[in-house]
């Protein structure tokens, strides 16, 4: 079995569902999975409702910062791998309050590494050989690119600019150090921006879909010309499975979909798809809801990932183009309005007030 952390969040829950062969007709995987998640505002067990009663999914409510708990889980379940998705992940929240990012992304990862190290050291030689610690990270650790710079390669310098990316960078360094110093069999992946089902509507794509349908402004930070490199979440999950299976120990793999888009273009694409699939009652385009708002402080201008290494060495390729993936995503949100309504209540509403001055 494997231990997954943060498996109730956006990418983690997609990974858990795909691992266990649900719901897209992927062959069922008999290998069970322990899912450790602290259920912060971003963790949602509803994402995993389809696994109710499935004995292959063992959910544990707890933090990666809880050394005793992780030590107990590793001893009890003897997993062959740990995959660390758990993190605070939203740049804007890290600007308003970095503390949780330091605690979870840095201190939490450190505790997880410590527990994994002592567990791994005591395994018998064969199990020790096969054990893997896979750390899921982001392209944001490499900083910001100018318009004509080549895309980020694994050899790029780390130049994180936000408290979020700095905390992820620190965790990547710890993972690297545990390999070099203690020999822990680690793998690190640095992925570009994901989108797809179960994406919490505080991030650009789900926020725009949600606000459009709710008749609210579609907030564009600054001039909207910042570039992100978008990857459909299921392609990210497939890449992680491939790296777990065949990645070289101690190596870093960049994951991206070669889909650089300016934010304003992404929002225009979303409006066009919504105009077609769920037109406004008054016949106007959703584009009329676009509103330019104050830019994010320290806003990175451009991210782009060069995933040649992963493609060449491990044979991974994304299955979706941006056009196919974004359409699937809009359809998912249209079909899952109840999910959206549930997550947009409570804590999420307080956040909207802080970030956009909403009172509703």
- State the residues that interact with ligand NAD by CB under 6 A: 5-6, 8-12, 36-40, 42-43, 63-65, 85-87, 89, 104, 108, 136-138, 168, 191, 193-194, 200
The closest alpha carbon to 238, from 207, 206, 196, belongs to: 196
The one among 5, 189, 193, 259 contacting ligand TYD by CB under 6 A: 193
Neighbours of 182 (CB within 10 A): 15
Q: For residues 179 and 228, which CB has a smaller minimum distance to ligand TYD in the complex?
A: 228
139 belongs to the catalytic site? yes
Interface region with ligand TYD, contact rule CB under 6 A, candidates 25-33, 46-54, 120-128, 200-208: 200-208
Binding of ligand TYD at residue 221 (CB under 6 A)?
yes
CA pseudo-torsion sign 301, 164, 238, 182: positive
Tokens of residue 101, six digits? 């990012």
66 belongs to the catalytic site? no
Binding of ligand TYD at residue 220 (CB under 6 A)?
yes
Select from ligand TYD, ligand NAD, none the partner in contact with residue 37, using the beta carbon and a kind-dependent cut-off of 5 to 8 Å: ligand NAD
Q: How far apart are CA 6 and CA 62, in angstroms?
A: 10
Query: How many whole angstroms from its chain centre is CA 35?
Result: 15
Select from ligand NAD, ligand TYD, none the partner in contact with residue 204, using the beta carbon and a kind-dependent cut-off of 5 to 8 Å: ligand TYD
Largest CA distance in the chain: 68
37 belongs to the catalytic site? no
β-bridge pairing 227-232 and 260-262:
antiparallel
Q: According to CB under 6 A, which residues from 100 to 119 bind ligand TYD?
A: none
340: left (phi > 0), else alpha (psi -120 to 50), else beta?
alpha
Point out which residues bind ligand TYD (CB under 6 A): 91, 193, 203-204, 207, 219-221, 226, 228, 263, 296
């Amino acid at each position: 079995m494997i231990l997954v952390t943060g498996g109730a969040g956006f990418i983690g829950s997609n990974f858990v569902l795909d691992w266990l062969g649900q719901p897209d007709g992927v062959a069922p995987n008999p290998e069970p999975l322990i899912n450790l998640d602290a259920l912060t505002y971003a963790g949602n067990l509803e994402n995993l409702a389809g696994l109710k009663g499935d004995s292959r999914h063992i959910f544990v409510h707890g933090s990666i910062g809880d050394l005793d708990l992780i030590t107990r889980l590793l001893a009890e379940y003897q997993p062959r791998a740990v995959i660390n998705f758990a993190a605070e992940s939203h740049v804007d929240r890290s600007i308003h309050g970095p503390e949780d990012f330091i605690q979870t992304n840095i201190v939490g990862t450190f505790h997880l590494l410590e527990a994994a190290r002592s567990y791994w050291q005591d395994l018998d030689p064969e199990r020790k050989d096969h054990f893997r610690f896979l750390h899921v990270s982001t392209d944001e650790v490499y900083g910001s690119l100018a318009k004509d710079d080549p895309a980020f390669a694994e050899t790029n310098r780390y130049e994180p600019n936000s408290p979020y990316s700095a905390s992820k960078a620190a965790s990547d360094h710890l993972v690297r150090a545990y390999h070099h110093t203690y020999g822990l069999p680690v793998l690190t992946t640095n992925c570009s921006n994901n989108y797809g089902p179960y994406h919490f509507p505080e991030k650009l794509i789900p926020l725009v879909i949600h606000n459009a349908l709710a008749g609210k402004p579609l907030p564009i930070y600054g001039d909207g010309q910042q570039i992100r490199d978008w990857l459909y979440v299921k392609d990210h999950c497939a890449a992680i499975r491939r790296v777990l299976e065949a990645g070289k120990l101690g190596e870093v793999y960049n994951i991206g979909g070669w889909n650089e888009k300016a934010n304003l273009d992404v929002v225009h694409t979303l409006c066009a798809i919504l105009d077609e699939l769920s037109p406004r009652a008054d016949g106007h385009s959703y584009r009329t809801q676009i509103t330019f708002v104050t830019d994010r402080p320290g806003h990175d201008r451009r991210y782009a990932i060069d995933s040649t290494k992963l493609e060449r060495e491990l044979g991974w390729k994304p299955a979706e183009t941006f056009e196919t993936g974004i359409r699937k995503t809009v359809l998912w949100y249209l079909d899952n309005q109840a999910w959206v309504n549930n997550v947009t209540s409570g804590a999420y509403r307080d956040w909207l007030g802080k970030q956009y001055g909403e009172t509703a």
